[in-house]
């Protein structure tokens, strides 16, 4: 079974602020831009919906209005995907060619590559957990995972990259396997884009 990491460049605090805001604008935007995606999601999860899970648009509306949420934890996945859709509307999709699809512990392998370069301020594996979901949003025991890198974390990680690059010019930086090096380079590009504007960070989802 393969997985995928989808990452978005945006202000994580602003994204969290949409949850419970009651702002109808993202709902109208979703109805316009995500119409096909919402219909496809309802088709994909038709069995779960028949057994009480909310439809994709219903989960999105519950998220924006801060509830009501289904009390059945088996339905929590819909709210995670709803938050991903909010982030997709609010932010910019980042190149995930090194992370979609992936198998097994690939995110941990990339983290090991980052650590080898002395980069510890961010972790791609953390996108597979649920810690990035706003408070009060039901968390699925499975997918999607969600994590976030704040602007401050991005600044710190990029500084670590720059120290590693200086070491590389001295011939002391480790050589990474090709696929890992490509993924690590993609992470560095995400960070460079995030630090250009105050408040921007990265929110990622694994499913």
3-state secondary structure of 185: helix
Q: Give the per-residue pLDDT at 172.
A: 59
- The whole-number pLDDT of residue 166 equals 78
pTM summary value: 0.93
Cβ atoms 7, 127 nearer than 8 A:
yes
In whole angstroms, give the CA distance from residue 149 to residue 10. Answer: 10
Give the DSSP H/E element, type plus range, for residue 180: helix 178-194
Encode the chain (207 residues) as per-residue pLDDT tens digits. Answer: 799 999 999 999 999 999 999 999 999 999 999 999 999 999 999 999 999 999 999 999 999 999 999 999 999 999 999 999 999 999 999 999 999 999 999 999 999 999 999 999 999 999 999 789 999 999 998 899 999 999 999 999 999 999 988 776 655 567 889 999 999 999 999 999 999 999 999 999 999
Angle between helices 77-90 and 56-64 (to 10 degrees): 70
Largest CA distance in the chain: 61
Rounded distance, CA 20 to CA 106, Å? 34
- Measured CA distances, 139 to 7, 69, 84, 86, 142 (Å): 19, 11, 13, 16, 9
Rounded distance between C-alpha atoms, residue 177 and residue 87, angstroms? 32
CA dihedral 75, 76, 82, 88 (to 10 degrees): -130
Helix 35-44 × helix 56-64 angle, to 10°: 120
Instruction: Tell me the C-alpha to C-alpha distance, in Å, between residue 182 and each of 40, 111, 114, 179.
Output: 32, 13, 11, 5
């Amino acid at each position: 079974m393969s997985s995928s990491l989808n990452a978005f460049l945006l202000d994580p605090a602003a994204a969290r602020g949409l949850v419970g805001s009651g702002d109808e604008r993202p709902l109208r935007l979703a109805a316009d831009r995500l119409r096909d995606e919402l219909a496809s999601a309802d088709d994909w999860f038709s069995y779960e919906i028949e057994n009480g899970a909310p439809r994709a648009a219903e989960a999105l509306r519950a998220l924006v209005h801060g509830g009501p949420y289904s009390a059945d934890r088996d339905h929590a996945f819909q709210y995670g995907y709803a938050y991903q859709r909010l982030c997709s509307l609010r932010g910019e999709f980042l190149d995930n060619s090194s992370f979609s699809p992936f198998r097994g512990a690939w995110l941990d392998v990339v983290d090991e590559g980052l650590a080898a370069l002395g980069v510890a301020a961010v972790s791609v594996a953390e996108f597979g957990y649920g810690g990035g979901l706003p408070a009060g949003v039901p968390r699925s025991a499975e997918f999607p995972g969600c994590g976030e890198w704040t602007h401050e974390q991005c600044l710190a990680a990029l500084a670590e990259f720059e120290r590693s690059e200086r070491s590389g010019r001295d011939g002391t930086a480790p050589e990474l396997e090709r696929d890992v090096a490509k993924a690590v380079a993609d992470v560095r590009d995400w960070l460079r884009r995030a630090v250009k504007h105050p408040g921007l960070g990265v929110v990622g989802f694994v499913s």
